[in-house]
Structure 1
Amino acid sequence: MFSKHVLYFSLARLALGQLDAIPTGFDTDRWAWWSNEDPLLAVIPGQFNRTLWDTSSAANVSDERVQAINDHVNQSSFVAYDERFFDIIGPKATVEQLQVLPFQVHEASCYIPETGQLFFIEWGPPGGVNGSHDWQYLLDVKTNDLTRIQTNPPTWNVHGCVYQNGKLHVVTDGGPDETPYLATIDPYTLERKTILNNYFEQPFISFNDLELDREGNYYLTDSYSGWGRSLHPYAAPTSPTVYFVNGTTLRIKPLTFLYPGNANGITLSPDGKTLYLADTGASDSSQKPGVRRDNYPRDLWAWDFATSSNGEKLPLLTNQRLISRAIQYFYDGIRVSRNGWLFGAGGETVDVLDPESGWTLGSIRVGGGGNDPVNIAFGKHEMRIIGKGGVWHVKNIRERLDKRWT
């Protein structure tokens, strides 16, 4: 499929073995090829080890040749594990850090094409006022000017965002005097309208993320995250839950529960027939300090929607299956591209996965050094990554990423 050349590294004038088999036209300074067809990677000599929290190229290894491979990967922007990743990203793509921000969680990214702005937030402690925030960010994508904004009325502790039908649709953890809720924000006037704040008079735990389908129905993840960081004073009323909310009637029902575990990133396939969910029970923000994190759940799941006798899609999930367990850390924000590829942000990378087979096709890196992607926002042939350390722009991507409706 590809015209390839093999890139070899040397250390003390010794060949270290194959790392890269990169197609012609792809910059080997920005790209790495990682395959177990390389004997050094399939059977690592000497001693080696890493924790699940570290990227594979940050492993402690005793073999100098393997260390040289890791050094190259750590200097790359794109790491391919599957040839399809080259086709998706293309040879012109680059990664640039737009904003250098504190190593504080930033997420809830929404790109507003009409205004050329990126909405996102700073979340939880140690930032804000005892971890709470009643303000958000707007980034002008042309000038790179970053502005703090406040909605009317102020919106506390936004955690997730989707832009659709001319509005920012957000979910919150709640605040000092309010329970979590679903709301819309007008991107021009910054007027906020609260849509839903209860499940039959039961408060939610703390909303984490959301997705909308083509018809404007909501899929909400109610998680331990905000409660675990004490962003509101009351006890968790239930286990982490995924809710379906009819966008017209606001009728609500649970779709699935996670116990143990924590409901986090959520997205839909382009045809709306499959739901994907990131379980981040391994996160230290998912439970109160001192509570044991059993089993370290950090999995990416998929379900299909059941259909009625006349073929109508129902708010019922079936055919649960494991897509993948992240190579490192866990996936926080997840989104599906126009052509159906899964993008998962977490650890030092944004990974691209095949939703049918579950294979991880490749990773987009943001420089390591504590930088941690948390959430992503698609443009047409670009994406912006939000996380610990700032904002990154991946541009000139070959495939179109944004969904077919907004």
Structure 2
Amino acid sequence: MFQSVYLNPLPPSLISTAAKWAWVSFTAFANLPGHFNRSIFDSPWETETDNSTLSKTLNYVNTTDFVAYDKRFLEIIGVDATIEHVQPLAFQSHEAPCYIPDTRQLLFVEWGKPDGDDGIHSWQYLLDVENNTLRKITTDPPTYNVHACVNFQGQLYGVTDGYGDSETGSLVQIDPQSWKATTLLNNFLGQPFGGFNDLEVDPEGNFWLTDSKSGWGRGIVDFAPPNDPSIYFVNKTTMQPKIIWTTTGNANGVAMSPDSKTLYIPDTGVSEFRPSNKNPHGRRMLWAFDVGSQGGVLANQRLLTSPISYFYDGLRVSREGWLFSGSGDGVDVIDPVSGFVLGSIRTGGGENVAVSMAFGEHEMWIVGKGGAWHVKDIKAKLKRDW
């Protein structure tokens, strides 16, 4: 068992588990000796230091599966949890994971340039989670450049970037049995969307869509975004959309609390496009908003947190209200009230990038640069009631 002044002692129940754990001591990290430095895009375990004790600790933590910052993370994840890299894939963004419990399958995509046919993808991956076999499927008609997906009442709802100058970003319903695809929305009264990035469906079936500049930035769509990145609320009955929030940064993930009273939105203006660049001074906030009782109105915007490293991409909320978000080399678990990061589920020594995730009851799948991971036997219940 590795011991260090920079780590809290693990409970005996976690010392001999199949997974490898570390519990960071913020008290010890509060005053570091010697030289140290890292960028916001590097995890803490990539910190440059001339102190040998700190360096050994960082190297050790970089080999772990779960890193705790708060005791509650130990209780959320539990002693039986493991993580497995079930599909090592090209170092290309993978997005839009949707778990289908009836068939024990996971839908996800490979997103954007430089891979594929000039970055245009008419197919999706389908993973059999029992034996971890992977195949490609195509919906009828084909759905191009899916960027996010949510399973709601047995149907899959995906959003797309669009492609070229011939197809705009769309909200699409996909039947996971027949793979029949139906476009529900592809314009705002004649105005094309910039390119959808993510979506949430609330308990009533209304849609919350993030319209971003990522597709334009990667050259997937040819036309410039018609307005700043925005969040759209779409009424399920009338399909009437309206903008409820805009940013000069970039609209990325979106997720709702279990009681439907809070909406969470990460602003990722830290990613700049044309030319593609990561600006450390760009926006990378995670915002929380109160949701009005009539829906479609946001109030009381507050900065919940900014990530310890990288930026928050895909965002999901568990049944107990914990926020899970892709953040560089792992998925951060965030307290929805204080905004403190409780711990991180890591995807492999800083060599991969966690982008988004999908929940089962006590398991989850993470997709990102490097492929797909399966986290099993999590103690907390993850899948929501709707």
Question: TM-score range, shorter-chain basis?
Answer: over 0.9
Q: In the superposition, relative to structure 1, how do residues 389 and 290 fare at CA in structure 2: closer, same or farther (>3 Å)?
A: closer
Across the two proteins, how many residue pairs are aligned to each other?
Answer: 383
Larger Rg belongs to? 1
> Which residue of 2 is the match for residue 300 of structure 1?
286
Check the 8 A contact 1:218/1:245 in 2, yes or no.
Answer: yes
Higher mean C-alpha displacement, 363-372 vs 122-131: 363-372
Q: CA deviation at 1:126?
A: 1.1
Which piece of structure 1 moves more, 22-31 or 380-389? 22-31
SS class of match (2:120): coil
Question: What's the counterpart of residue 145 of structure 1?
Answer: 133
- Which segment drifts farther, 367-376 or 379-388? 367-376
- C-alpha distance in structure 2 between counterparts of 1:404 and 1:365, whole Å: 26
Are 2:253 and 2:265, in contact at CA under 8 Å, matched by a contact in 1? yes
1:47 is aligned to 2:35: yes
Which residue in the other structure is 1:111 paired with?
99
Q: Name the counterpart of 2:58.
A: 70
| Number of the residue aligned with 1:167 | 155
1:72 Cα deviation from its structure 2 partner: 1.5
Q: Structure 1 residues 290, 54: closer, same or farther in 2, change over 3 A?
A: closer
**CA separation of 1:291/1:376 partners in 2, compared to 1, >3 Å: closer, same or farther?**
closer
1 CA distance for matches of 2:277 and 2:66? Answer: 37
Pairing 1:193–2:182 present? yes
2 CA distance for matches of 1:365 and 1:294? 22
Q: Does 1:157 align with 2:145?
A: yes
Query: How large is the RMSD of aligned CA atoms in angstroms?
Result: 1.5
Partner of residue 325 from structure 1, selected from 303, 306, 312: 306
Contact 2:40-2:280 at 8 Å conserved across structures: no
Matched position secondary structure for 1:17:
coil
Contact 1:183 1:192 in 2 (8 A): yes
| Length-normalised TM-score, structure 2 | 0.96
Kept in 2: contact 1:174–1:180 (CA 8 A):
yes
Alpha-carbon spacing, 1:150–1:30, altered in 2? closer, same or farther (3 Å): same
- Mapped partners of 2:245, 2:26: distance in 1: 37
Unaligned segments of structure 2, at least 5 residues: none
Given the alignment, which residue of 3, 7, 26 partners 1:36? Answer: 26
1:308-387 matched pairs, under 5 angstroms: 313-387=294-368
Deviation at residue 27 of structure 1 after TM alignment = 2.7
- Per the TM alignment, residue 200 of structure 1 is displaced from its structure 2 partner at its CA by 1.3
Q: CA deviation at 1:379?
A: 0.4
Query: Which 4+ stretches in 1 moved above 4 angstroms?
Result: 290-294
Give the match's secondary structure for 1:37: helix
Q: Aligned pair 1:403/2:360, yes or no? A: no
| Cα contact 1:8–1:19 (8 A) shared by 2 | no
Superposed displacement of residue 292, structure 1: 8.8
1:370 CA displacement: 2.4
Matched, 1:202 2:191: yes
Residue 289 (structure 1) aligns with: 275
Structure 1 position 283, deviation (Å) = 1.8
SS in 1 for 2:252: strand
2 CA distance for matches of 1:53 and 1:218?
Answer: 32
TM-score normalized by the length of structure 1? 0.92
CA distance in 1, matches of 2:32, 2:66: 22
